[in-house]
Homo-oligomer: A and B are copies of this chain.
Amino acid sequence: MENCKHLEQVTIRFAGDSGDGMQLTGTQFSNTSALVGNDLSTLPDYPAEIRAPAGTLFGVSGFQLQFSSREIHTPGDQVDVLVAMNPAALKVNLRHLKNNGIIIANSDAFSARNLKLAGYTENPLEDDTLAGYQLFAVPVTTLTKQALVEVPLGVRDKDRCKNFFALGITYWMFSRPLDVTLQWIDEKFKTKPNVAEANKKALNAGYNYALSTEIFTTSYCVLEAKSQPGLYRNITGNEALVLGLITAAEKSGRQLFMGGYPITPASDILHYLSRYRHFDVKTFQAEDEIAGVGAAIGASFAGALGVTASSGPGIALKTEFLGYAVMTELPLVVVDVQRGGPSTGLPTKTEQSDLLQAFYGRNGEAPVPIVAAQSPADCFVAALEAARVALTFTTPVMLLTDGYLANGAEPWLIPDPDTIPKIDVPVASAGQEYQPYARDPETLSRKMAIPGTEGLEHRLGGLEKENITGNVTYDPDNHDMMVHLRAEKIKRVAGHIPRPELQGDAEGPLLVISWGSTYGSVFSARDTLAREGKTFSWLHLRWLNPLPDVLDDVIHNFKHILIPEINAGQLIRIIRDRYLVDAKGFNKVRGLPLQTGELVETILTYL
């Protein structure tokens, strides 16, 4: 590795047909990079179609990752290296490539038919289309076939190995070791030794091809990032979220019950949870989203930690039951993996446009705490926090993530579960005098009485409750009081959540306020500007409702407030209303993470 050229960070994008295995290739590159010690962040970008016809533009599947020797939290704006397995992949992704960026193209796939499908009249590998880029046209299909002559496999199966050949090239180019992937292949194809053999051969062949031909002149290396010491694994948002929920269940001594219904990009939460029967996790694939949340509420009533997860249209369907959980004051975690809206919108794209729905999307006055995860790995903490507040405050909690967080991955410093504090759940015991709506004076939460507990039989429902007794009442003053009590309870959550840390000075020209997955973009923007010796203050909010006190303290100390969001301006509505500051938004509703470069430019106008 001595004779490689050092780079600080690299963004690479693998792109090909849906059937070309690009998600797999990207994941392998990520895992290897993680083990090498890079910090990294990934962005899968797959089509809405299951298997679009080969060669079409809409069938292109992409996987982008940024890996770095510095701390990073975005998959990168523009791409340094584009691996294009066919003309459509090139066409769709070229605009992401930096000037003078590297293209590794599978020249075998640039057939007349494929060119036509991609809308090219000339072969771009042969005309001037790619002037200004470093093009490496490699006959990947042919070379793979040649490498596998001796493996007893059919033509189509051999052809499927070509992504490993391409991966091998990139491993050489970025000085990555092969062993992680080789091991993975062995494990994955345990029962199909020929396939394992073929894939491993292809990987090695690609590596050796790059090493030995003179086409590729430079190999690069990206050093280990200086991360906090400890044990790491690579993790996606949906995985981390699931682990957070299981941890919360264990820490609170509750059974985890998830009522779900498949929907992109939230389905994996149901999938992953359903694997953990041995953790007493019960998943219930309901007939729809309404039944999913209803079953979760029923389970909470029966003493479990009730969870439901959905996205876009599915969340809209849950709103009636959410109001019911507010009225019955039962714990519930509602995960909203936000995607492009409105309506069915852009199901596979990311967005932050459900925040106001989370705040206000219910009939009547029905406030709920809202928490948002900031990065894939952070979904663990966010889920744990959401469950903790739901259980201690006997309230539904909205947990916001998004399509990018859900499917994106990054290294996760694995916490020691023994150091995670227990969660105390306010539950009444047999023999106690029980009033269903008597409140803890500090948290204002009510004690639950779990069916099966002798002597605490009681009834809950969606009609207005008399305070303390929980009896149904239409008394006007009681209603007014209950509306305010329910609101006050949620405000009290503020005293039980970590105070977010203000980055930078407590006064100055600019305060950037962010939430959710834009964390990464703001982080990069700050990092970028820091290198130019410029800085701004930054507050990233984990809890959106209630807002943290720190805002009261500092928000008026800044000349400008900027709120970047992947929506048309939602947190900004809340901030302006609350603090009467003329906050400005930076909003791009393109179904993609915000581009660091654009954000930096905007920030500069305020400094």
Binding site for B on A (CB under 8 A): 47-48, 58, 312-313, 315-317, 319-320, 323-324, 326-328, 338, 340-349, 351, 353-354, 356-357, 359-366, 461-464, 474, 476-477, 479-480, 483-484, 486-487, 567-568, 573-574, 576-578, 580-582, 588-592
Q: A343-B462, A365-B567 are in contact. List 4 more A-B contacts (CB 8 A).
A: A323-B343, A327-B344, A357-B363, A576-B577
A313 near B353 with CB under 8 A, answer: no
Residues of B within 8 A of A479 (CB): 340, 346, 349, 589-591
Report the minimum CB–CB distance from A468 to chain B (whole Å).
18
Main DSSP-derived SS at the A contact region:
mixed
Chain B minimum-CB-distance residue to A481: B589
Chain B minimum-CB-distance residue to A478: B590
A361 to B341, CA, bound (A): 13
Known interface pairs A361-B357, A363-B353. Does A476 touch B341 (Cβ–Cβ under 8 Å)? no
Residues of B within 8 A of A343 (CB): 320, 323-324, 326-328, 363-364, 366, 462-463
Residues of B within 8 A of A353 (CB): 363-365
Residues of B within 8 A of A323 (CB): 313, 316, 341-343
Report the minimum CB–CB distance from A556 to chain B (whole Å).
13
A345 near B484 with CB under 8 A, answer: no
A317 near B315 with CB under 8 A, answer: no
Query: B326, B351, B363: which contacts A315 (Cβ < 8 A)?
Result: B363
A476 to B588, CA, bound (A): 9
A362 near B345 with CB under 8 A, answer: no
Of the A-B pairs whose beta carbons lie under 8 Å apart in the complex, a sample of 5, sorted by A's number, is A317-B319, A327-B343, A327-B344, A347-B463, A353-B364
Report the minimum CB–CB distance from A211 to chain B (whole Å).
38
Residues of B within 8 A of A338 (CB): 363
Report the minimum CB–CB distance from A169 to chain B (whole Å).
29
A356 near B360 with CB under 8 A, answer: yes
Report the minimum CB–CB distance from A308 to chain B (whole Å).
15
Residues of B within 8 A of A312 (CB): 363-364
Most buried by B among A345, A347, A360, A461: A345
A320 to B356, CA, bound (A): 15
Report the minimum CB–CB distance from A337 to chain B (whole Å).
11
Chain B minimum-CB-distance residue to A590: B476
A580 to B342, CA, bound (A): 28
A344 near B463 with CB under 8 A, answer: yes
B568 near A487 with CB under 8 A, answer: yes
Residues of B within 8 A of A324 (CB): 343-344
Chain B minimum-CB-distance residue to A484: B568
B360 near A483 with CB under 8 A, answer: no
Report the minimum CB–CB distance from A195 to chain B (whole Å).
33
A359 to B360, CA, bound (A): 8
Report the minimum CB–CB distance from A269 to chain B (whole Å).
17
Chain B minimum-CB-distance residue to A356: B360
A361 near B362 with CB under 8 A, answer: yes
Report the minimum CB–CB distance from A496 to chain B (whole Å).
22
A320 to B319, CA, bound (A): 10
Residues of B within 8 A of A319 (CB): 316-317, 319, 361
**Nearest 6 A/B pairs, CB to CB:** A341-B364, A342-B364, A476-B590, A344-B462, A342-B366, A343-B462
A319 to B341, CA, bound (A): 13
Most buried by B among A315, A354, A357, A363: A363
